[in-house]
Chain A
Amino acid sequence: MVKHCMNNTKKTRIILIVSIIVLAILFLVALMVGRYRINADTFFKAIFDTSGQYLTENNVIRILRLPRTIIAILVGMSLSVSGLIYQELFQNKLVSPDLLGVSNGAGVGAALAIILGFSGVLLSAFAFVFGITTVVLTVCISKNFKSKSSMILLLSGIVVGGFMSSILSMLRYFAQDEAIISNITFWLMGSFAYTNMSDVFVLLPIVGIMMAILLIIKWRINIIALGQEEAKTLGLNYNLYRVIIIAMATLLTASSVAIAGTISWIGLVVPHIVRLVVGRDTKNTIPITIVFGGIFMLICDILSRTFTSSEIPISALTGLIGTPVFIFILLRKRRTLET
């Protein structure tokens, strides 16, 4: 049995190492491809160039592609791992990181900012604050029911999210100006096009700290997934862990959405792919989800800016790739259950 357990750990380690290598390769590919194509030879010359001979290439890589590639990886990691920990906490495999209304709230914030004529950091700040406020509102409403069941929190999330979605529709309806409406629509579909290094400096520490906490408590998430009664009697402070998980997922999702807009599917699909590969144990699924999330989002970003002259919105691609992958997983799982 020790051997069995070690084999499982070994398998996870191998998958983790291989996927980190894949992520590193995709990172380099993402810096090379795009409308201004840079071949491998020029790429390496450009990044080590001090003479100014490859100034254009250097600028394209450093100013345009490096920040968006890092942001894509961080957002992919954040949304995927948030989806995983929410699915475990709420004992429901169909929930996604925006369950408690964070994305809808951020959407309202962003739409308001666009209508008020703000962009850049102010737009992100509006989206972030509204996203967090929506989750706080959801939690406050559920507290009024004085029920310990996660179902009340889940229902509050659906209600508040629906309310925010209605406000967003009203804002779009009353905005009238075509340019504003198309800006809101574009933001809602998610994009890494306008990201820069200052976004990286904001997102990196948030993601870094949250991931470090998650990696520390990764095995204990299993016990939280068994539910309040079992977790409590096994010696875990369930309510404390629930607050930690909701706070982490909210911070990760709100900061990701604030910078890159609403991105659907990834938080739902990636945890399922990972479970199919390494099983249910969160000691294995959390690190693998973090890396797989980065890979999935990077692939979507590369595709979004490679095949057409204008960028394809990220949410359109995550849906296009996510749907067949999700159906494939469901079919595989059905087959596993039948045998």
Chain B
Amino acid sequence: MKTKTIRRQFLLVLLALGCGALPSLLWAKDLKLLNVSYDPTRELYVEFNAAFAKHWLIKTGDKVSVQQSHGGSSKQARAVIDGLQADVVTLALAYDVESIAERSKLLPVDWQPRLPNNSSPYTSTILFLVRKGNPKGIKEWDDLVKPGVRVITPNPKTSGSARWNYLGAWGFEYLRTGKDEAKAKDFLKQLYKNVPVLDTGARGATTTFVERGIGDVLINWENEILLGAKERGAGKFELIVPSTSILCEPTVSLVDKNARRHGTEAAAKAYLDYLYSPEGQEIAAKHYFRPQNKEVLTKYAKQFPDMKLFTLAEIVGDWQKTQKTHFNDGGIFDQIVQK
């Protein structure tokens, strides 16, 4: 009797569980997310999206497919402001996310503290890539201003990486000269005289240097340089690590209003959280992005050059001040490239 009772109770529990699971099986959702990202994260997000989709299916039973859009970070931000239906943005710098918040109100202006490390799941820096044999003997930032050296870097008006490149050069000279802005400005003027082509984004600059064979040195994201050296031009290029460079902090955010309207808010939040998970950090490191997770960083330490990095705060201030001083119309960049 007791056995029968237990068996009946067990069967009832199974039935209840089945009934609970059945709706989710029957009503399993098929979600689509749009991640609007900057130029050099293509390979990262191919792998990351597949991993997240698997993770989400196991966790919730729902399918999720993530579509990607890539381009110069500022261009991408403008596209979202103009209506591109991003559920999440993963852009090169915080200013581009701020501009979406301010101009389109698609996310709150206090977005940055919502995720760890000020919404920066991984960092990077700026390095140089030169041709094999380093024929122009480039070792440091000030080699880039020598006559006859052709420097490839994208346009800071459209590219987040270009702004980091610019700030890397600015920071080097600014700190070297004891924070002399005039000298830093002059240094950049000399550097941009040596820039024959201004691509719109980091990937375009890599194409110009690696595939089109233009220029003597490419300054670019660390991950792009390492990828370029390893995969596209094995044996044809050399990595040059300057003595110092800037700490680049790409940032990510939920685009609240879009995600709410699409019914993807929960999945989109989980997507960003997954970037901070050990699996997400491992994927970032594999693609040469410096993970914030210390254990993962230690594991992949050998692939990242050991160098002294300065922050934006040390050389200019916050992004609002940086944008206003350097990159707005009439700013220092416009002044130095004016003919």
Chains A and B are bound partners: no
Residues of B within 8 A of A (CB): none
